[in-house]
Each structure stands twice: as C-alpha cells, then as structure tokens.
Amino acid sequence: MNVNHLIPKYKYGKAVLAGSGIEGTYNSKAVDCPNVFCHNGRFYMTFIGYDGEGYQTALAVSDDLINWEELGVILKRGANMEWDSVGMAATTLLMDKDLYGGNKLKKWQGKYWLMYHAYPGAGYETGSAEVGLAWTEDENLMDWHFYGEPVFTYKDGAAWESGGMYTTDLVEHDGKFFIFYTAKDNEDGFWTEQSSVAYSQDLIHWTRPFDYPVLPVDRQAWDSQFASQPQVFYDSKEDQWVMFYYGLGNLSACNGLAVSKDLYHWEKFSAPILTTGAAGTIDSIYAHKPYVIWHDGALYHFYCACRPWQEGDLANNNGEFRCISVARTKPWDEKQFEIDKKVFG
C-alpha cells in the first residue's frame, strides 16, 4: 500500500471558516462537514451551519482555498417536507472522482446533484436520520429542488445501521452510481458508526450488495468506535481507489485512509493520517470529517477542527469551538499565510 503522497503533513493551523456567533443566524454555534469542489473556474465549498436547532447547508467560494466568501444558505430549514423540516446537511455532490482532477462538478441529465441527510428532531443530531436528493440547473448553485421523500433510509437496512444515517459520498463509475454511507447501530447512548456501499442506476432506487459494513470499526485499533464519513477517489498514480474517513477510539476523532481495487473490498492504512494537535491548537479536541482536493501539486485536506472555546472566539457550541481548517501535503508559504512556527515546528 503506497499512501505517502496522500498524508497531509502540514497543517494551516487556523480556521478558514467558522461560526458567526450571532443569534438567529444559521451558523451561530458552529460550522462542520466541508465539501470542496471546482466549478466554472473557482473553488466552492458546501458546509453545514448549526444554530442550536439543527443543520442547514450553505455555500462559500474561494480563489485560493484559504480565503472563503460565504454566499448563503442553499438547503434551508422547512424547504421540503416534514421528515427533513428541522434541517438538511449536504455532504456530497456529483463530481469527477479523479483524485488529481480538481473535483470538477459534473452534470447528469442536464442537472447538478447533491445528497443530504436530515434528523427528525430539533437539537444536535436528534433522532434517526435519512438521506434525501436535490438537484439544480442554476450555475450559481443557489437554487436547489428536492426529490421529496427520502431516497435512502435505515428502515430497510441491516441491524448495524438501525440507528439512522449520517453522511454519503457519491461516485459515478462504470455506468452506475455508488454511495458510500455511514450509519449507526442505535439512536441513543453509546453507539458504533460504520460505513458501507450501495449502488443505483437513477440516484433514487439503491441496492445494498452487502448486509455488513465494507469499512467496519476495528475494536483493537484507533478506530474502535467509529469508522465514518468516507470520501472516495480514484488514484490513477497507484491504480487504486482511496477512501478518506474519520475514526474514533483511543486517539479521539482523527482522519484515516483505506484503499481498494474494486470499490467493495477495502484495506485500511494502519495509522491515522491526520491527528489532533497539542493543547491550545485549533484541533486539540478533534481533527476529523475529511474532504480533499488536489491543487497546484498538493493535496489539500479540509477537515472539521475542534478545541475548547476561548475568549475571542465568535461561536460557542456548548464550550467547544468547532470550525473548518485545512492541511496539505506540501509546506505552506510562511510569509503568505503567516504560519506560526510554534504550531508547525
């Protein structure tokens, strides 16, 4: 397994997006779950905002992957039906899955597509979530339309996913659509999150080839409780599929990597490729929920960074500062980004 070129050794060390801290805004408490892609010559990011009631999905744009301008909410509370009325958390769009292709957004049937999940109850991930589908013909990506009912649900799944769905990642390959999805085994208390795969011809009707996770937890390893939020690309340099994911266990929440030749059978790299930082750094609690994009000879590894809230932070999510940060596979320009050598050594 050759993955050295995929390990993001150089952390930016600061937030590139954070919550507003302003009561009544969609992101007053936190931001989460970056999804970065290229569209019409610019970089875009969908991300989740949390306001204490539920998730909503917003869009931001950038020309350098560091400085982001928020464009507004694209999946709003109450925009569709009762099952997703509390909020909608998008985590995947249909895009080119060549690892070195820059995550270019692509169309199917003349439309852009995304998938999201929604929890039925108000609060932080309250209840068992299901997965929905949305589309747009708007080149600005601000005006989305909904299929309506859930297209993928725990209700027809196996016991390990009976607690509800989390994120999905959408891949088009060999005339099929695949989703790599995360589910949990119970709704409340101490649960296990694991990930598997399903396929479809139409984005609506999905078939599970297995009744077990293709990315299970390893009770003896660093991802003993969660193996979650997979993001899959084809690595043409090594003729392999690569899966970025996050695990939870004795190292807190960190990001890991697995490889495959066929999208069904995955081998994990033995250690996390992105771990939490020292006390006082932007990711001292969690460094998880990966999303990568190749640009200018480097792999940019976006992730949700968490540390204890401190004076001066705009957003406070129950004592935690939860933001989006980035690492990459080549060193940063210290003058351009004012890198603190205490953080990066």
Structural domain contains residue 308? no
Structural domain contains residue 310? no
**pLDDT given for residue 192 in this prediction:** 97
Share of the chain above pLDDT 90, in %: 94
pLDDT digits (tens, 9 = 90+) for 4-23: 999 999 999 999 999 999 99
**pLDDT given for residue 345 in this prediction:** 31
pLDDT digits (tens, 9 = 90+) for 210-247: 999 999 999 999 999 999 999 999 999 999 999 999 99
Structural domain total, the chain: 1
Structural domain contains residue 276? no
pLDDT > 50? residue 297: yes
pLDDT digits (tens, 9 = 90+) for 170-218: 999 999 999 999 999 998 778 999 999 999 999 999 999 999 999 999 9
pLDDT > 80? residue 334: no
Structural domain contains residue 53? yes
pLDDT > 50? residue 343: no
Q: Which residue has the higher pLDDT, 343 or 87?
A: 87
Q: Which H, E and C letters describe the chain, residue by residue?
A: CCCHHHCCCEECCCCCECCCCCCCCCCCCEEEEEEEEEECCEEEEEEEEECCCCEEEEEEEECCCCCEEEEEEEECCCCCCHHHCCCCEEEEECECCECCCCCEECCECCEEEEEEEECCECCCCECCCEEEEEEECCCCCCCCEECCCCCECHHHCCHHHCCEEEEEEEEEECCEEEEEEEEECCCCCCCCEEEEEEEECCCCCCECCCCCCCECCCCCCCCCCEEEEEEEEEECCCCEEEEEEEEEECCEEEEEEEEECCCCCCEECCCCCECCCCCCCCCCCEEEEEEEEEECCEEEEEEEEEEECCCCCCCCECCEEEEEEEEECCCCCHHHHCCCHHHHC
Structural domain contains residue 96? yes
CATH number for the domain spanning 111: value is 2.115.10.20
pLDDT band at 335 (very low <50, low <70, confident <90, very high): low
Mean per-residue pLDDT of the chain: 95
pLDDT digits (tens, 9 = 90+) for 284-296: 999 999 999 999 9
Structural domain contains residue 315? no
**pLDDT given for residue 209 in this prediction:** 98
**pLDDT given for residue 251 in this prediction:** 87
pLDDT band at 344 (very low <50, low <70, confident <90, very high): very low
Structural domain contains residue 301? no
**pLDDT given for residue 190 in this prediction:** 87
pLDDT digits (tens, 9 = 90+) for 22-61: 999 999 999 999 999 999 999 999 999 999 999 999 999 9
**pLDDT given for residue 298 in this prediction:** 97
248-252, 268-272, 315-319: the lowest-pLDDT one: 248-252
* Averaged pLDDT for residues 95-115: 98
pLDDT band at 341 (very low <50, low <70, confident <90, very high): very low
Structural domain contains residue 303? no
Domain that holds residue 156: 34-271
Share of the chain above pLDDT 70, in %: 97
**pLDDT given for residue 65 in this prediction:** 98
